[in-house]
Amino acid sequence: MLHRLRELGLSVRVFEKGDGVGGTWYWNRYPGARCDSESHIYCYSFAEELHEDWEWSERYPEQPEILAYLQFVADRLDLRRDIEFETEVTSATYDESSSTWTVETADGERVSTRFFITAVGCLSKPFRPDFDGLDDFEGEWYHTARWPDEEIDFGDDHVGVIGTGSTGIQFISEVGGRADHLTVFQRTPNYAVPARNRPLGDEEYADIRANYDDIWERARDSRLGMPFDWEQHTAFNLSDEEIEEVLEERWQQGGFRFLHAFEPGYILSNAEINETISEFIREKIREKVDDPETAEKLVPTDHPYGSKRPPMDYNDYYGTYNRDDVTLVDVDEAPIEAFTPDGIRTADDHYDLDTVVFATGFDAMTGALLAIDIEGRDGQTLEAKWEAGPRTYLGLGIHGFPNLFTITGPQSPSVLTNMPMAIEQHVEWIADCIAYMDEQGYDRIEATEDAETQWVQNTNMLAENMLFSEAKSWYRGANVPGKTQVFTPFPGGLDNYREICDRVAGDDYDGFELDRVDDAPTVEGR
Ligand code: N01
């Protein structure tokens, strides 16, 4: 966004809480952190020079490599000179008379700006359950999303992990065998599909480079922002054996290619085929875990495959439970009651622990936005407006909050896609919109109430027709006690969404109100 706005000749200041670039990949340094999107598409597509001078080493990039990539991009595009690091934005207030925002930082600095753009991420405010007794726990504890920048030696420790989402699964398979004992506190099992990570060979890489234009075109024009094909759109007319064959082939390919066995929207809306796929994975889990009782605890039955974000298995996750030094504790059956000075007490036992790792996720989608005290027109706060759940138009604009753009905001495809594709689409759309406003002499843009209401209804209706409502997921805010539960990302596909956004822009920003503020003081170049 910074790069594009500079290209438009605007003056831009970026505020960043961390002391370096990287966002998610700056904060999530836990052992095993890796991206589930394949590396060659988990990067920027807009500048060819970036592909030419960067080479990914593995099919899925590890956290240090992604962080190094983002540092490389920041240097190459000379971004750092406009970024204020270690600076937390605490509030942003819209002033109607001048049509400007005043952004305030924790240091007390106040900046006046014509446009206020948030790029705070969808999964950036960590969520930690409020367990009794944590203050009295005499061991060490960490949250995976605030991992220290140093190696932690678990060697002699009894380590406990709470959480078996994507993060927990990566951490558990990486640390199983590296600690004296690992105890996993699982509330809900998940469907982990083998990622099938491997180094990227020279020939394969040359092929990727030679075909990048085509790869990006297919990724942009896809539901999930990934350039993968499916042979059969649906499973209609296929026998059980043929379906099994397709699934087995995709299982061998691994990662998100498995989710492309059939068209992903179909998998997520057809309960019958979804159950066949879910059962296929359940059988794989049963095959991998030696102890049948442990296996059954690891088999998910409470939600359909894909109705929660599907995790990946990089390191024989299920095999980890065959080790003598790894124990699975079902805290759905016997919940965690409290921390004690020596460990964790559940409803039916006590576990002695030296270290506890919270892999308990995030206050997703809205948490980081609402952590900033945002006040729009007529003194309305975003927190008050979103009390019953987020309301946006396209996930880009909010009625009552003029000249605020939210990159990967609620009700945009964001987390249901390969994120860089969704981010780039938003960045391009916002930059084009600002350029259009300048060309036409507009000072202000605001989503209309009608357009916003229709968009929220549209998003909800699409989600209701899919299987998402059958899972207690962070997609719906169900992981944070007390949070309003509403499905938040746009589930209609990045391809369709892009078309809608292009049509809106082509129609003079249909659904937005644009106007001039005659007496507004000009804020030069902002
Ligand atoms: O968080 P989660 P995450 N007692 O919310 C458990 C992305 N990501 O950090 O399922 C006991 O998925 C909770 O249990 P339950 C990816 O989009 C991407 O793992 O609510 N347990 C669950 O098991 C992912 O989806 C990559 O019953 C409690 C876990 O904590 C998203 O980040 C890598 C509990 C939280 O799982 C979030 O993943 C990693 C309690 N009181 C993550 N409270 C990539 O590769 C919560 N839990 C790109």
Q: Pick from 361, 377, 398: which residue ends a domain? A: 361
423 in the same domain as 346:
no
Give the pLDDT confidence of 477-510 residue by residue, as tens digits. Answer: 999 999 999 999 999 999 999 999 999 999 999 9
| Sheet with 350-352: strands ordered across | 336-340, 343-346, 350-352
Site to substitute for ligand 1 among 312, 360, 418, 485, most atoms within 8 A of C-beta: 360
Give the pLDDT confidence of 96-145 residue by residue, as tens digits. Answer: 999 999 999 999 999 999 999 999 999 999 999 999 999 999 999 999 99
448 in the same domain as 376:
yes
- Chain centroid to CA 359: 15
Provide the residue type at 151 as one letter: E
User: Would residue 83 count as lying in a domain?
Assistant: no
Ligand 1, atom 29, residue with closest C-alpha: 163
296 CA from centroid of ligand 1 (Å): 20
pLDDT, residue 249, reads: 96
Q: What CATH code is carried by the domain that includes residue 141?
A: 3.50.50.60
- Contact, 336 vs 185, CB < 8 A? yes
354 in the same domain as 440:
no
147 in the same domain as 286:
yes
User: Would residue 317 count as lying in a domain?
Assistant: yes
Q: Pick from 313, 334, 361: which residue ends a domain? A: 361
pLDDT, residue 519, reads: 47
495 in the same domain as 447:
yes
359 CA from centroid of ligand 1 (Å): 6
Q: What is the dihedral of CA 236, 242, 247, 251, to 10 degrees?
A: -160
360 CA from centroid of ligand 1 (Å): 5
Ligand 1, atom 48, residue with closest C-alpha: 35
Shortest-distance atom of ligand 1 to CA 360: 30
481 in the same domain as 396:
yes
Number of C-beta neighbours around residue 371 at 10 A: 17
**Is the predicted pLDDT of residue 526 greater than 50, yes or no?**
no
- Among 353, 365, 320, smallest CA distance to 138 is for 353
Give the pLDDT confidence of 43-97 residue by residue, as tens digits. Answer: 999 998 898 899 999 999 999 999 999 999 999 999 999 999 999 999 999 999 9
- Among 473, 472, 475, smallest CA distance to 487 is for 475
472 in the same domain as 407:
yes
368 in the same domain as 286:
no
The pTM score is 0.96
Ligand 1, atom 12, residue with closest C-alpha: 165
User: Would residue 300 count as lying in a domain?
Assistant: yes
Number of domains in the chain: 2
User: Would residue 210 count as lying in a domain?
Assistant: no
User: Would residue 225 count as lying in a domain?
Assistant: no
User: Would residue 200 count as lying in a domain?
Assistant: no
Give the pLDDT confidence of 222-262 residue by residue, as tens digits. Answer: 999 999 998 788 999 899 999 999 999 999 999 999 999 99
468 in the same domain as 386:
yes
398 in the same domain as 451:
yes
510 in the same domain as 369:
yes
The CA angle 269-42-36, to the nearest 5 degrees, is 55
Give the pLDDT confidence of 345-393 residue by residue, as tens digits. Answer: 999 999 999 999 999 999 999 999 999 999 999 999 999 999 999 999 9
**What range defines the domain where residue 109 resides?**
88-122+364-515
Site to substitute for ligand 1 among 29, 305, 476, 479, most atoms within 8 A of C-beta: 479
Band of pLDDT at residue 521, cut at 50, 70 and 90: very low
Q: Which protein residues touch ligand 1 with a CB less than 6 Å away?
A: 34-36, 123, 129, 162-168, 170, 185, 187-188, 309, 331, 336, 359-362, 415, 474, 479
User: Would residue 230 count as lying in a domain?
Assistant: no
Q: Pick from 361, 380, 410: which residue ends a domain? A: 361
User: Would residue 257 count as lying in a domain?
Assistant: no
Find all residues with CB under 8 Å of 50, minimum gap 6, and list them. 43, 44, 73, 76
398 in the same domain as 285:
no
357 CA from centroid of ligand 1 (Å): 12
pLDDT, residue 355, reads: 98
331 CA from centroid of ligand 1 (Å): 15
**Is the predicted pLDDT of residue 522 greater than 50, yes or no?**
no
